């Protein structure tokens, strides 16, 4: 988004409560303390982890899509004043290579805390109360939106990637959790 002047965009402020990972294990978003989702492209992942940590106050300038209460970040400013601007994946002269993430099959259950969206406001998954993010294709998420709504108790099967910044499951199957006692049996 190198063509957008971030100074003309609305600013959102908050404290980082957690990072969000994509299925390659790269950061592609964060959640602020008020529950607002901030999306940023994964090519900013390295700069973000270098300058921003969970618990830090941040300022975000970005675009708010019509369909969801998220911010698609164009600029993030760390608590120390470091500005991280999305210059596009080729902005620094090199191509963004997606890392190969070691994934493992997983089955887990839990309660949905927050629906998660893509940068254009499309439903893309959910955040469970234990901090695990669930990801799926927008067309699948749209069809299964009731499973991804806050308060839903669900069971999922898929492949997980986990690192020091969080855990994400690429969902292959999802079901409504029938027995609430099963909600406490989360896998790592």
The pLDDT score that the predictor gives to residue 102 is 83
The pLDDT score that the predictor gives to residue 88 is 80
**Residues 64 and 32 grouped into a single domain:** yes
**Residues 175 and 115 grouped into a single domain:** yes
**Residues 159 and 122 grouped into a single domain:** yes
Helix, strand, coil percent values for the chain (each to nearest 5): 15, 45, 40
The pLDDT score that the predictor gives to residue 95 is 53
Q: Which domain holds residue 175?
A: 104-184
Does any domain span residue 99?
Answer: no
Does any domain span residue 13?
Answer: yes
Instruction: Give CA–CA dist 146/143, Å, rounded.
Output: 8
Domain finish residue from 53, 85, 117? 85
The pLDDT score that the predictor gives to residue 124 is 97
pTM over 0.75: yes
The pLDDT score that the predictor gives to residue 3 is 78
The pLDDT score that the predictor gives to residue 67 is 86
Q: Is residue 94 within 8 Å of 41, Cβ to Cβ? A: no
pLDDT beneath 70, residues of the chain: 1-2, 90-100, 179-188
Instruction: Give CA–CA dist 169/106, Å, rounded.
Output: 8
Name the residue with tokens 């965009």: 9
The pLDDT score that the predictor gives to residue 89 is 72
The pLDDT score that the predictor gives to residue 48 is 97
**Residues 11 and 62 grouped into a single domain:** yes
**Residues 74 and 111 grouped into a single domain:** no
Domain holding 169: CATH number?
A: 2.40.50.140
**Residues 140 and 168 grouped into a single domain:** yes
**Residues 137 and 73 grouped into a single domain:** no
Domain holding 72: CATH number?
A: 2.40.50
Does any domain span residue 91?
Answer: no
Instruction: Give CA–CA dist 146/153, Å, rounded.
Output: 10
């Amino acid at each position: 988004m190198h063509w957008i002047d971030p100074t003309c965009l609305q600013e959102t402020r908050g404290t980082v409560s957690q990072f969000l990972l994509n299925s390659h294990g790269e950061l592609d978003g964060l959640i602020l303390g008020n529950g607002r989702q901030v999306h940023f492209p994964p090519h900013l992942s390295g700069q973000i982890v270098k300058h921003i940590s969970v618990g830090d106050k941040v300022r975000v300038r970005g675009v708010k899509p019509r369909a969801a209460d998220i911010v698609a970040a164009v600029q993030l400013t760390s608590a120390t004043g470091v500005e991280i601007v999305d210059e596009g994946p080729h902005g620094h002269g090199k191509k963004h290579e997606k890392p190969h993430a070691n994934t493992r099959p997983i089955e887990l259950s839990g309660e949905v805390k927050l629906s998660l969206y893509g940068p254009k406001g499309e439903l893309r998954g959910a955040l469970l109360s234990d901090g695990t993010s669930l990801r799926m294709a927008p067309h699948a998420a749209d069809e299964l939106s009731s499973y991804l709504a806050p308060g839903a108790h669900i069971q999922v099967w898929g492949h997980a990637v986990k690192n020091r910044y969080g855990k994400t499951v690429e969902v292959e199957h999802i079901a409504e959790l029938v027995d609430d006692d099963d909600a406490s049996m989360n896998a790592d």
